[in-house]
Structure 1
């Protein structure tokens, strides 16, 4: 396979790229180069932030607390190494390729172990490939992390269209199904004839769609968010205490915790102006996702007590990626595409086909709701792995990369081809 060198530099909305080849299906190597003026501009904007008065409650019920956001921005301006995003990504093999008119960025790390199973893993919102980087080692090199050589994966981490270093779609129609088809094409271009897929949050929606499309080569999926539960939670079993607790958690989320979801699925452009103009507004918007992650991040910045892997530096790696690539608005539009009533996918909805490949599911204790096994079984007739993890939350791969990798090893172990 021929590979060409490509360097992208983004500042605001501008993109400068150099390439030696115009073939649309070419896979080209990629590196990040952030101009000094972009970092200087970030510092100036942080220093010029206009702060609102303090919230009138003692918790997050009015939104991100002033003390938390000021601590985040203070560390961002004076304690955080703004070169981390560039350094961390450039230490890994990165590539871009155009699929269906959009340039897709991805990290592709090969295992040194023979017969490693190819895995494509999709991040969510407010995430990026940055949230998945610490899982690469445990997945590709399991012997270093308490596993066996036969547990290894080749890992492909694409950036969703409109997120991070992938290009922003120039037309509507990039819903979950279209992204799922793009991922199948990506794996085909990489030469993988047998692979598995994993995702959480938005990535769970993409992975669920891949399972229903059942592209050639896909032999199984794993998710850690039960996407079908959001469509009609009342249709799910509610006879046990665990089932009722899960339904109550979804109700709480849909009535008092999903402001970002409603805004992004109905008016993503409106919030996008603030997200590209103010780094403080971007940070606040991204922190205000779910209660468990919010308080873990708050403790990390206020008390210096990070929850396992969720350190201030790693939190800011993710936020900084959004800021430097100017993708706050385009990432928000993905919710309009996937869940908006005015999106093309909503105009003629058809009942989705059943998932035809084996499904693995892990529920984590800090998730927005803890999925009962009965729900996963109703959603997926091909469920063949279910486990309730002891630790972790909504961004499980970010918080607990080793435990997360162990879940994937267990879920996909029956799907591995016999050793040659």
Structure 2
């Protein structure tokens, strides 16, 4: 690496006691809305559950302990594109064969947190009952405006631009060839890594096909694809108000969500419940500590507004970009609790799809909900491409 190249520096953030006391003060002073007695989760976040969660956040949640647990991941920051980018870089432990570098791309509403459970399973499979030959070097960057990466002061970056940054990051780390994987917005980022850097990306793994974007003649689609498009539109009408707000007026909710920790929790918790494979009981998929670790990361870094603005950037991506087909080998693990699951015909239409599986459990946040299943999906998919890394 030339002397002028960006140099990653170790990064271990520590929240100040004053910031944590301010958080507790705000939580205890929450001004609660009313709700119909039988509303539950039908109108959005359940009032009774959020009261319980906020009470625990104020007087039971141990952020320093969670912060210390996250600090066990090897984390760095590096200047890229004029921004300080935070990332996990965990090298393979005791590999017995070729090591494949793997960049894991997160989505919203999360950060590197999405992959915090799965990193050790991928870097040291032998210690977790799997084949040591399947070890990866794992890189998990926070997108600009998420987690501990800096917030753009100008226009937000779209998924295409973020993919370009991740290709640059892999170059800085000395990886000429690598695999890419992701879900949610991270699915789009990994897709664009395959589209724009096919000479470097050996294969792409995704947990979804993205919400459908099709501008051609519907008659050219299979019946299953047309049904999926209709299902996606119905899902957007019933569940997509948050995304419409993010795409159009993200600054308006940012005021309230940046000022009120209870409001921030309500915005995020409803998505964790709706999109996970929890059967309506969020704590089947996430403990209170796990939920609050994710939410506290957003609170302390003040990134809810900047994270939402990325939807506006992605909404402006031209239709021609959505129509491009990924030609590098692509695999999909479609977890049953995820949203708007695509048919195989669509996956074949949009990518060189070589493998599609349907794991038994898990949802939109599969790497966190079912880390062992997710790790095995990655090991099996990338196994044929290790020698190319």
TM-score normalised by length of structure 1: 0.85
Q: CA deviation at 1:354?
A: 2.5
Partner Cα distance (1:26, 1:259) in 2: 41
- After TM superposition, list the pairs within 5 Å mapping 1:154-193 onto structure 2: 154-172=137-155, 174-193=157-176
> Which moves more between the two structures, 133-142 or 225-234?
225-234
- The alpha-carbon distance between structure 1 residues 368 and 57, as it changes in their structure 2 partners (threshold 3 A), is farther
Partner Cα distance (1:177, 1:221) in 2: 15
* Residue segments in structure 1 that go unaligned for 5+ positions in a row: 3-20
Q: CA deviation at 1:216?
A: 3.9
Note if 1:313 corresponds to 2:289.
Answer: yes
Partners of 1:128 and 1:164 within 8 A in 2: yes
1:384 is aligned, of 343, 354, 359, to 354
Q: CA deviation at 1:75?
A: 1.6
- The alpha-carbon distance between structure 1 residues 77 and 245, as it changes in their structure 2 partners (threshold 3 A), is farther
Partner Cα distance (1:94, 1:352) in 2: 36
* Residue segments in structure 2 that go unaligned for 5+ positions in a row: none
Partner Cα distance (1:283, 1:173) in 2: 23
Q: CA deviation at 1:128?
A: 1.2
- The alpha-carbon distance between structure 1 residues 355 and 228, as it changes in their structure 2 partners (threshold 3 A), is farther
1:101 is aligned, of 65, 70, 82, to 82
Note if 1:256 corresponds to 2:226.
Answer: no
- The alpha-carbon distance between structure 1 residues 132 and 55, as it changes in their structure 2 partners (threshold 3 A), is farther
Q: CA deviation at 1:397?
A: 0.5
Residue by residue over 1:84-126, the C-alpha shift from the partner in whole angstroms, topping out at 9 and shown as x without a partner, is 4421232121111111111100011001114221000011101
Tell me what 1:69 maps to. Answer: 50
Q: CA deviation at 1:79?
A: 2.0
Note if 1:358 corresponds to 2:336.
Answer: no
Partner Cα distance (1:263, 1:84) in 2: 34
- After TM superposition, list the pairs within 5 Å mapping 1:16-35 onto structure 2: 25-35=6-16
Residue by residue over 1:108-164, the C-alpha shift from the partner in whole angstroms, topping out at 9 and shown as x without a partner, is 100111422100001110111112100012111112223201211110000010001
The RMSD of aligned alpha carbons is 2.5
Q: CA deviation at 1:238?
A: 5.0
Note if 1:272 corresponds to 2:272.
Answer: no
Partner Cα distance (1:317, 1:171) in 2: 28
Aligned residues: 386
TM-score normalised by length of structure 2: 0.92
Residue by residue over 1:282-326, the C-alpha shift from the partner in whole angstroms, topping out at 9 and shown as x without a partner, is 0111123276447839635xxxx533xx22111111001000111
Tell me what 2:223 maps to. Answer: 239
Partner Cα distance (1:52, 1:214) in 2: 49
Partners of 1:212 and 1:352 within 8 A in 2: no
Corresponding residue SS for 1:359? strand
Tell me what 2:92 maps to. Answer: 111
- The alpha-carbon distance between structure 1 residues 281 and 52, as it changes in their structure 2 partners (threshold 3 A), is same
Partners of 1:117 and 1:195 within 8 A in 2: yes
Partners of 1:290 and 1:368 within 8 A in 2: no
Tell me what 1:374 maps to. Answer: 345
Tell me what 1:42 maps to. Answer: 23
Corresponding residue SS for 1:255? helix
- The alpha-carbon distance between structure 1 residues 316 and 233, as it changes in their structure 2 partners (threshold 3 A), is farther
Partner Cα distance (2:138, 2:30) in 1: 39
Corresponding residue SS for 2:293? helix
> Which moves more between the two structures, 409-418 or 97-106?
409-418
